[in-house]
Amino acid sequence: MTRWRYIAQAIPSGEFLDWELPLSNVEITRTLSGPGRLTGTIPIHLSRLDAVLRPWGTAIWAEADGYIRGGGILMPWTLDGQRAEIDCMGISGYPQRMPWTGSTQARLNVDPLDMVRLIWSHLQDQENGDLGVQVDATKSTVRIGTAEYWTDAKGNVVKPADPKKLPEGWTHHEAEPFPLEWWSTHDLGRVIDDLAVQTPFDYLEHTSWSGNSLRHRLQLGFPTIGSRREDLRFALGENVSVTPTLDADDDDYASDVLALGAGEGKAMVNTTLHRSGASGLRRVHVYTDKTARSKTALSNSARRELSWLVGKPRMHVVNVIDHPHARLGSFDVGDEIFVSGHTGWVALDRWARIVEMVTEPDNADQMTLTLVEV
């Protein structure tokens, strides 16, 4: 039987404060490209409670069979009768709502992943800011922070012989450096998340034992983390314990896309696309890709977006149990797994990517997964 324990650690010093916190009603969430979560309750009559449970000064880690399964930085807790409600944010959430306080940056033609490393280095170089997070050295092929450039009448990037005498229909685009500024950059977590969407890349936090101390790693994956798992499956009636709901939001349908690329104002790269065969009312989705410097590049990415917006009801959450077809622990966020079965008269039979996993140690033979169909 799996033995769970909950460990309290002072941060940023790393001193261990308690090896057996009496947490109950625990939920552990593992999230792709976002901070994980640990929630639970603890009796408030315990001595040393204030000394151990210090918001932003304590981290709590859930360990099972010698492995760290989740946890993070303790947020301000609340009282409910004789219990304290505990909420811990994963270490990748530390940059959230943190401003840039270093020297002004205006980078050109830089790898977005280098900017992620720069942000983390800046945060951890400050007094009492070092969590010991090691950020992967992964590189991408994308570059942000554009120097000035020109486009012809068809939207192709060109270089004029004389920038002061442009042919008719040609447009000059001003340089757009990538900025980190104390007066405007006030949420470094949002900067990282915006870069993750625009590049795109994934990130995932890991905490593990390294001798008698804990090691934190921020994994970076370009363009994604995870793989398509042909060896596993989720099937209704086998390891999917509850028939999943299929639904769609109002914004999940569009017949057309207005796509906006690099540049500002009237000089912005732009194009419109229409889905062939679309019936019903015209609905236009506004799509932005500031890395696209030509209509061709913008059209390619916008076309993928439009192909998704068909209003089809999709899976979002499934409950799975431990089963030979997909043992709990054999998959992780980022992996794509085939889901089969019928819900009502609709056949699922589709691939879905795991973007979040929720574990309850009191019910460790099952798991709730948040999915994105692919």
289 in a structural domain: yes
Provide the pLDDT for residue 301: 87
DSSP state of 256: E
Residue 314 near residue 209 (C-beta atoms within 8 A):
no
Encode pLDDT of 14-43 as tens digits: 999 999 999 999 999 999 999 999 999 998
Compute the distance between CA of residue 131 and CA of residue 216 in angstroms, rounded to an integer: 8
Compute the distance between CA of residue 137 and CA of residue 282 in angstroms, rounded to an integer: 45
179 in a structural domain: yes
Total residues belonging to the chain: 374
Instruction: Note the maximum CA span of the chain.
Output: 79
Provide the pLDDT for residue 46: 62
Q: Is the dihedral of CA 156, 157, 162, 166 positive or negative?
A: positive
Provide the pLDDT for residue 324: 93
CATH number at residue 274: 3.30.1920
Judgement on whether residues 201 and 259 belong to the same structural domain of the protein: no
Encode pLDDT of 211-266 as tens digits: 999 999 999 999 999 999 999 999 998 999 888 888 888 888 999 999 998 888 88
Provide the pLDDT for residue 265: 82
Between these two residues, 338 and 77, which has the higher pLDDT value? Answer: 338
Provide the pLDDT for residue 47: 52
User: pLDDT confidence of 48, banded at 50, 70, 90?
Assistant: low
Judgement on whether residues 125 and 198 belong to the same structural domain of the protein: yes
Q: Two tokens at 235?
A: 């099937």
Angle between helices 112-124 and 188-198 (to 10 degrees): 160
The DSSP string of 10-44 is: ETTT--EEES----EEEEEEEETTS--EEEEEEET
Compute the distance between CA of residue 184 and CA of residue 140 in angstroms, rounded to an integer: 26
Residue that terminates a domain, selected from 89, 120, 148? 89
Provide the pLDDT for residue 1: 67
CATH number at residue 63: 2.30.300.10
Q: Two tokens at 35?
A: 């901070």
Judgement on whether residues 236 and 268 belong to the same structural domain of the protein: no
Encode pLDDT of 138-164 as tens digits: 999 999 998 898 988 888 889 998 988
Provide the pLDDT for residue 347: 81
Judgement on whether residues 207 and 323 belong to the same structural domain of the protein: no
Judgement on whether residues 22 and 63 belong to the same structural domain of the protein: yes
Judgement on whether residues 15 and 63 belong to the same structural domain of the protein: yes
Residue 169 near residue 175 (C-beta atoms within 8 A):
no
94 in a structural domain: no
Residue range of the domain that includes 33 = 4-89
Judgement on whether residues 58 and 177 belong to the same structural domain of the protein: no
Of 311, 314, 249, the residue nearest 275 (C-alpha): 311
Average pLDDT, the chain: 92
What are phi and psi for residue 340, nearest 5 degrees?
A: -130, 160
The DSSP string of 273-290 is: EE-TT--SS--EEEEE-T
Q: Which amino acid is at 288?
A: T
Q: Two tokens at 85?
A: 């409600």
Compute the distance between CA of residue 229 and CA of residue 103 in angstroms, rounded to an integer: 45
82 in a structural domain: yes
Provide the pLDDT for residue 61: 98
Residue that terminates a domain, selected from 55, 89, 123? 89
Provide the pLDDT for residue 370: 96
Helix (H) or strand (E) holding 308: helix 295-308
Judgement on whether residues 234 and 341 belong to the same structural domain of the protein: yes
Judgement on whether residues 29 and 156 belong to the same structural domain of the protein: no
pLDDT (average), residues 123-143: 97
Number of compact structural domains in the chain: 4
Judgement on whether residues 284 and 356 belong to the same structural domain of the protein: no
Compute the distance between CA of residue 244 and CA of residue 327 in angstroms, rounded to an integer: 19
Which of 145-149, 179-183, 230-234, 340-344 is predicted with the least confidence, judged by mean pLDDT? 340-344
Place of tokens 């207005």: 258
Residue that terminates a domain, selected from 221, 238, 269? 221
Judgement on whether residues 24 and 152 belong to the same structural domain of the protein: no
256 in a structural domain: yes
Judgement on whether residues 244 and 256 belong to the same structural domain of the protein: no
Most confident residue range from 117-126, 144-153, 160-169: 117-126
Encode pLDDT of 277-313 as tens digits: 877 899 999 999 887 878 888 998 899 889 889 888 8
